Amino acid sequence: MTDPVVLPPSGHSATVSPLTSQPAGPLKGRIRVPGDKSISHRALMLASLAIGETRITGLLEGDDVLRTAAAMRALGARVTREADGGWRVAGVGIGGLAEPSDVIDLGNSGTGARLLMGLIAGHGITAFLTGDASLRRRPMGRVAEPLLRIGARIVAREGGRLPLAITGAGEPVPIQYRLPVASAQVKSAVLLAGLNTPGATSVIEPQPTRDHTERMIRHFGGTVDVEESAGGEKLVTLIGQPELGAADLTVPGDPSSAAFAAVAALLLPGSEITVENIGINRLRIGLFDTLIEMGADITFENERVAGGEPVADLRIRASRLKGVEVPAERAPRMIDEYPILAIAAGFAAGKTVMRGLGELRVKESDRLAAIARGLKSCGVDTEIDGDDLIVLGRDGDVPGGATIATDLDHRPAMAFLVCGMAARQPVAIDDGETINTSFPGFAALMNGLGGRIAPTPGAAA
């Protein structure tokens, strides 16, 4: 067994890789996308708290997840990558995390930073967390607030931003916490803190959010109960201080990554592709529900359960899309997919209104502004009205011809490369390096289906 790659220091890679996507013909083929990023983070963290050795297959090996692997190693777990691509994690048990000897650098990973804060908050150790320029701009206050109630101490920059120091509670106190906004990351941070807390730690959700943490805690032998009220609220309760045991698992393909190939296939006439082994957790596939409402030909085949998560193969055929209204309450089920949905909306017939997107303002970039700005530069009329995004679709006739600033954000970068595949003129992005955060090999995979993504001619590296 060998350790994974050596990670670069905080900040952006010294290599800048402008990419250009040329108009393409029909896409054909069967593909697998990288493992689910949300599940990969949680698998490494919970395996590190289990007794014994867990083998993980299908782990996403993007920069975000590699940062979490390095963080768990710094906290005392033995995390190694095998020659066949599998990973082994020898856990330290709940309460067994060690104080790291150096600053933990999470790179661009907001999920890694926020969940790690929760883990540390329930252990009596001190850690210092930082990240790249994008992550240091993102607020951590909404995670810090419930962790302070549990007994952690947190010192951060103005606005609750990284770098920060966190000292976990020596005697953590169980709490019941009502989420002020729907956030799986805040919910997960509280539950992870509750693992080393006596008694019951509870989170009240006004709207359902992705439940990977609850499912995975159960997979490793913990107890999480969920009660739903008549009004639709959920009470998620964790029983603290369980003994988690090693439990091998396979990470399904990431539906957020599958979204890019799916939308490209829908937009390019004559396309038919199959994306294998995709997680279809109902709290993650709001995008596919929306695309089907828009007229997409998407079928779920070979449905099964793997590692506690529902999985299927997706078959996607080119379709003429129409504009729809996407309700705000759907946002938690597809918050990472709005950049690529906006591209689909630009090619649809009629107006698409996406409501309640305020959360996009505090992602890796201000995605709401970035999406609107990029679509306008590609010739699509777009408007922001409060927290709503309004796109006037051009019924397949998008001019393109723009260069998009990625602002260290992987999802808009990939979304506008998809735009270039279906537009009249190529679309370029100023830097493709950020895509490795979640989807290493993206351009090669899309080109294998028939795409035409390549380094921008004449661009300085």
Provide the CATH number for the domain around residue 363. 3.65.10.10
Q: Is 63 a catalytic residue?
A: no
Question: 338 and 433 share a domain?
Answer: yes
pLDDT at 10: 52
Judge if 421 and 285 occupy the same domain: yes
pLDDT, mean of residues 79-92:
97
Strands 453-455 and 19-21: antiparallel
Same domain for 233 and 280: no
Which DSSP state fits 359? G
Task: Compute the average pLDDT of residues 63-79.
Answer: 97
How many degrees, rounded to 5, is the angle at CA 191 between CA 189 and CA 194?
Answer: 110
Confidence band, pLDDT 50/70/90 cuts, at residue 134: confident
Quick check: is 6 in a domain?
no
- Given 196, 217, 249, the domain boundary residue is 249
Of the residues 232, 249, 266, which one is the last residue of a structural domain? 249
Phi then psi for residue 30, to 5 deg, are -115, 135
Same domain, 372 and 330: yes
Task: Note whether 243 and 382 are same-domain residues.
Answer: no
Q: How far apart are CA 400 and CA 422, in angstroms?
A: 9
- Tokens 């739903």, residue located: 228
- 427, 417 Cβ separation under 8 angstroms: yes
Read off the tokens for 202: 């509870």
Residues 282 and 168 in one domain: no
- Residues 192 and 282 occupy one common structural domain: no
Average pLDDT over residues 426-454: 95
Same domain, 174 and 185: yes
- Residue 234 and residue 117 in one domain: yes
* Active-site option among 336, 407, 409, 431: 336
The answer as to whether 461 is a domain residue is no
Task: Identify the pLDDT of residue 139.
Answer: 87
Confidence of residue 204 (pLDDT cuts 50, 70, 90): very high
Give the residues across from 250 on adjacent strands.
57
pLDDT at 461: 47
The pLDDT assigned to 2 comes to 52
3-state secondary structure of 372: helix
- The rounded distance, in Å, linking the Cα atoms of 140 and 91 is 27
Domain closes at, from 249, 264, 295: 249
Residue 382 is assigned to a structural domain of this protein: yes
pLDDT at residue 460, rounded to an integer: 54
Q: Quick check: pTM over 0.95?
A: no
Domain annotation covers residue 389: yes
Give the structural domain span for 190. 37-249
Pairing status of strand 249-250 against strand 234-239: unpaired
Q: What is the DSSP string of 47-111?
A: HHTSBSEEEEES---SHHHHHHHHHHHHTT-EEEE-TTS-EEEE---TT-PPPPSS-EE-TT-HH
Q: Taking residues 419-425, what's their average pLDDT? A: 98
Calculate the average pLDDT of the chain: 94
Count other C-beta atoms under 10 Å from residue 176's C-beta: 14
Statement to judge: residues 262 and 163 lie in one domain: no
Which residues, 6+ apart, have CB-to-CB distance to 243 below 8 Å?
51, 93, 94, 221
CA dist 168 and 153 (Å) reads: 7
Q: CB within 8 A of 295, min separation 6: which ones? A: 319, 320, 321, 322
Residue 63 has what pLDDT? Answer: 92
Q: How far is CA 285 from CA 33, 258, 298, 331, 342, in A?
A: 15, 11, 12, 11, 16
Alpha-carbon distance of 335 to 347, in angstroms, equals: 20
Report the number of distinct structural domains present in the chain. Answer: 2
Write down the pLDDT at residue 12: 47
What's the whole-number mean pLDDT along residues 133-149? 94
In a domain, 12, yes or no: no
Residue 169 above 60 pLDDT?
yes
CB atoms within 10 A of CB 353: 16
364 or 164: which carries more pLDDT confidence?
164
- Give yes or no: residues 341 and 391 share one domain: yes
- Distance of alpha carbon 204 from alpha carbon 112, whole angstroms: 22
- pLDDT above 60 (res 8): no
Give me the helices (H) in 356-400, please: 367-377
Clarify whether residues 238 and 298 are in a common domain: no
Is residue 353 one of the residues assigned to a domain? yes
Q: Which of 141-151 are b and which e, b meaning 16 or more Cβ less than 10 Å from the residue's Cβ?
A: ebbbebbebbb
